[in-house]
Chain A
Amino acid sequence: MIACPSCGADLGVRGTALPYSTCGYCQSLVVHGAAGPEDLGKVASLPFDVSPLQLGTRFRVDGIDFLTLGRVRWHWQDGAWNEWLLEAADGTHCWLGEAMGLFMLTAERPDLAQDPMIARFAVGVEIKLGQAMQVDGHLLRAADIRRAQCVGSEGHLPFPTLPGTKLTNVDFRSPDGLILSVQRVGGEVTAWFGTIYEFADLNPRNARAIDGWTLPAYMQ
């Protein structure tokens, strides 16, 4: 068990190489450094939403098992969305973006960060709507550009989520439901490639119970 340095509460199961945890009791953001856990300050508590996910929700997609370890919620001018951090059985991490009742499961593609457009984006040259990217033979176009601010987090995450953390997210989409998310947090740019799903298609287990609704048996 790892205890919160601020309140002593259990910080829960920590995934591989996830340096930041949000204490579910006192909302402290904790960094796991060489000298042990250190309190970085408070993050905002997450506003209630009707997401069917919770920390601990499991998925099975294309034969791979995933466990939900963390969440960060981003707010932009036209709304807010959740990014859930999933850890695959082999220890790699994926993001599960949740917006409009749909789910975007993406895995990191470090090779794409070498793309000239993405490299320029890393130094502040913005991507324009409609710009094209070729990924694994699929043509994707920039369909959605959002400048967002972190409005809260829970669980374990790869980056700090103190209030005011800024994200620029560019979603490229293909006509057949593929998605490339290019994310700039601080000066770090990462590229994430994957597919859009409906919740049930992810074969969820231990989904969250929402009062007023019956949790389908196959999601329990």
Chain B
Amino acid sequence: MNGDAAKREAASGARSVACPACGGRIVARATGYAVTLGCAHCGSALDATRPEVELIARHKRAVAKFPLALGKRGYLFDQYWDVIGALKRKDALDIWNEYLLFNPYVGYRWLVEYKGDWQFGTMVLDVPEADADGIVWRGERFTSAGPDQQVTATCVIGEFYWRIKAGDQVRCVSFERGDVSLSCEVTDEEVNWTQLVPIAAREVQTAFAIDGRKMPGRRFAQQAHAATGAADDLLAMFAVAGIGAFLALVVMLLLAGPVSRTVGSVNAPYGKTREGVLIGTLEIKRDWQLVSLKAQGQDFDNRWVDIDYSLVDRRTGQAIGGYGLAERYSGVDSDGSWVEGSRGAETLLGHVPRGTYDLYVDAEAHAWPIDATLNPDGSVSMPPDGSQLSTWAQPDAITMTIVAETGALPSGNWWTVLVLLLAWPMAILWWRHEND
């Protein structure tokens, strides 16, 4: 960092430190409040309460990537917010992202992204009152949204005003009223309540200028309208659910339509993008079809590959874009050896209209940690310490095989439909069983 940048940082209340684990630069924005810093380069947990940050837990794995980057500023609910922290958290069923927002004149807020749906969170200081039927908050009744869950932080980057590191657990229980929920988190020391209100993904994307390709997709989640009828006739509900699921399968098969397939490959070089590699041609013979794009690499580790797809209509020259990310990391730490990610990536393009398309890809490979040493001449050196990361041992590109297919059947969606269709009758069955 040069002197001017240092002055700018000091003036704006930010300060930057070098990560004691990986040397990467960490910028802290909520100076004076921050307690924990999670290195955005290597995920190590640092103690920010001392003038010289101290290492709490060393990690060598690459950190997960978040669609919303640390340091971004956005305008939501009539205020500007800096994204200062990001968490991945999981319970028994799911994994999701949470972002800590900060404005020195307003305080802290949360953005929670769960499978493409976003919520804006505010800490609640007037705690709800609990009774047997749920809770009452500000005169309104909220009902339980399910049993309590053990929630684990799996990735922690940025700065936080309390002590937190990957692996930390809290008990979490949620209550709902309409589309507002109240979430309660309990640790040994504290109980925290947060009010969560929905916010449109489009609004978050616009507010923080997030690249559309990085926005998490919404899960195809149709409500089971068929099951909302005769609540007393359980058998009929199961029949309706079964017929509904069968019809959904038939409709999906019909929509999927005839299969057209093309296979090719692209060499993704490190640190620069190979552009415009033609993979092949696809025919869409229906009014529209789904297109599945699969990318698969071999034998790479602690690397990731960004793939941009362009499906160009030969007649109009219009392109339909998509984005794929294959990332795989491994290593050994105090818990033994670990592996994260996959060398393959699947991208689905919905609603591609009739026509003949050429599929082009741009691809770029990255080593972790990225930009560890940027030489004055602009070339990039791999980190010297990681034996796996030696430039000599690695080829200069990762070859990705690309398979593009029309008529792909989104089988995951069908299972979702089946589960949703069966949820009501199963819940009633269980309820009856419990109350017999």
Which residues of A approach B to under 8 Å, CB–CB?
47-52, 75, 77-80, 82, 99-102, 129, 143, 175-177, 196, 198-200, 207, 210-216, 219
Contact = CB atoms under 8 A, between A and B. Distances in A.
Contacts of B51: 47
Interface residues of B, number: 33
Given A50-B31, A212-B14, A101 B126 contact: no
Nearest to B104: A50
B156 to A, nearest CB: 16
A82 to B, nearest CB: 8
B106 A199 contact: yes
B426 to A, nearest CB: 37
Contact of B13 (A80, A102, A199, A212): A212
A175 to B, nearest CB: 4
Nearest to B10: A48
B127 interface: yes
29 contacts: A47-B51, A48-B10, A49-B32, A49-B33, A50-B29, A50-B31, A50-B32, A50-B104, A52-B105, A78-B35, A78-B163, A79-B33, A79-B34, A79-B49, A79-B161, A100-B33, A100-B161, A175-B126, A196-B125, A198-B106, A200-B105, A207-B105, A210-B12, A212-B11, A212-B13, A213-B80, A213-B103, A213-B104, A215-B105
B187 to A, nearest CB: 12
Contacts of A214: 80
A176 B129 CA distance: 9
Interface of B: 10-15, 29-35, 49, 51, 80, 102-108, 123, 125-127, 129, 161-163, 189-190
Contacts of B125: 102, 177, 196
Given A51-B32, A79-B34, A101-B33, 19 more contacts: A47-B51, A48-B15, A48-B31, A49-B31, A50-B32, A78-B35, A78-B49, A79-B35, A80-B32, A80-B49, A99-B33, A100-B107, A100-B161, A101-B102, A102-B125, A199-B106, A211-B12, A212-B12, A213-B80
Contact of B127 (A52, A101, A176, A215): A176
Most buried by B among A79, A198, A211, A214: A79
Contacts of B127: 175-177
B35 A51 contact: no
A48 B32 CA distance: 7
Contacts of A143: 190
A101 B103 CA distance: 9
Given A211-B12, A212-B11, A213-B80, A101 B107 contact: yes
A210 B126 CA distance: 30
A51 B104 CA distance: 7
B352 to A, nearest CB: 44
Contacts of B80: 213-214
A133 B51 CA distance: 37
Q: Which 8 A-B pairs have the closest CB atoms?
A: A49-B32, A101-B107, A212-B12, A175-B127, A50-B13, A177-B125, A211-B11, A79-B35
Contacts of B107: 100-102, 198-199
Given A47-B51, A212-B11, A177 B126 contact: yes
Contact of A101 (B12, B161, B189, B190): B161
B175 to A, nearest CB: 15
B108 A100 contact: yes
Residue among A50, A52, A199, A219 with max Cβ neighbours from chain B (10 Å):
A50
B296 to A, nearest CB: 45
A52 B49 CA distance: 19
Contacts of B108: 100-101
A210 B30 CA distance: 11
